[in-house]
Amino acid sequence: MEVTSLTIPILVGAAIIDSINPCAFGVLIFLLAYLFKAFHSRRSVLLHGLTYISGVFITYLIAGLLLLPVISQLGRISTGAYVGIGVILIIFGLLEIKDFFFYGKGLSLGILPSAGKRIELLVRRITGKLSTSFFLGVFVALVELPCTGAVYLGVLALVSLAGLTANNFLLLVIYNLLFVLPLVVILLLVHRGGQIEKFEMWREKYRGHMRLAIGLLLIGMGTWMIMFIL
């Protein structure tokens, strides 16, 4: 299997769709609203925002590098592992599509309520030190995995199918850069005078559509993986 002919197009497309995840948008918007109240300085908001996004990026990248050899090893033991991942992706995709029609009803892929309260507490404890914003990014990246990790799992499985090569590191860097890109765009727009309330209204209005796009992507990835293995 050629990495250049298979993995990059899927990876880029998956990253773009996954990057519009309402979970990631929601935490950043809440953070920016607090920072503007706490610091009254656009420069401080920009620095803390970029530091927070860096924490998210680095955590996701490290998680991918740790999980990639594990998934690859499972695949070498039994190709059934990839079929299992494909089935999981399809199930998660159906849950995401369900939220397009019945948002928040029943089982959903989202940040656990206890983790959400912890995030709010950590945001309100941010000080002038950039390290607090970086730690928040690390923590958020870990606890929002139930909401954002399904697509990443599929990407890691597809990359591992192509074999563990030096290109995999670059692929994961590209994926995670694309994943945080919308967060950077929102931060820069807010820094230049964009109203946080409008971004939150946009997120609320289109969160179902975001879930639908992610759900269709997950079903497509899961189906393709099962068909490829079988």
Q: Which domain holds residue 150?
A: 22-223
Residue 24, class by beta-carbon neighbours within 10 Å (0-12 exposed, 13-18 middle, 19+ buried)? Answer: buried
Within-domain flag for 6: no
Percent of the chain with pLDDT over 90: 17
Within-domain flag for 12: no
Question: What value does the mean pLDDT of the chain take?
Answer: 83
Q: Are 171 and 83 within 8 A, CB to CB? A: no
Predicted structure pTM score = 0.85
Within-domain flag for 11: no
> Could you give the 3-state DSSP secondary structure of residue 82?
helix
pLDDT value of residue 114: 75
Within-domain flag for 9: no
Domains contained in the chain, number: 1
Q: Where are the beta strands (DSSP E) in 144-221?
A: none
Within-domain flag for 151: yes
- Reported confidence tier of residue 97, pLDDT bands at 50, 70, 90: very high
Of 107-111, 114-118, 163-167, the poorest mean pLDDT is in 163-167
Residue 1 has pLDDT above 50, yes or no: no
Within-domain flag for 7: no
pLDDT, tens digit, 9 for 90 and up, residues 150-208? 888 888 888 887 666 777 788 888 889 998 998 898 888 888 776 788 888 888 888 88
Q: How far apart are CA 7 and CA 87, in angstroms?
A: 20
Within-domain flag for 10: no
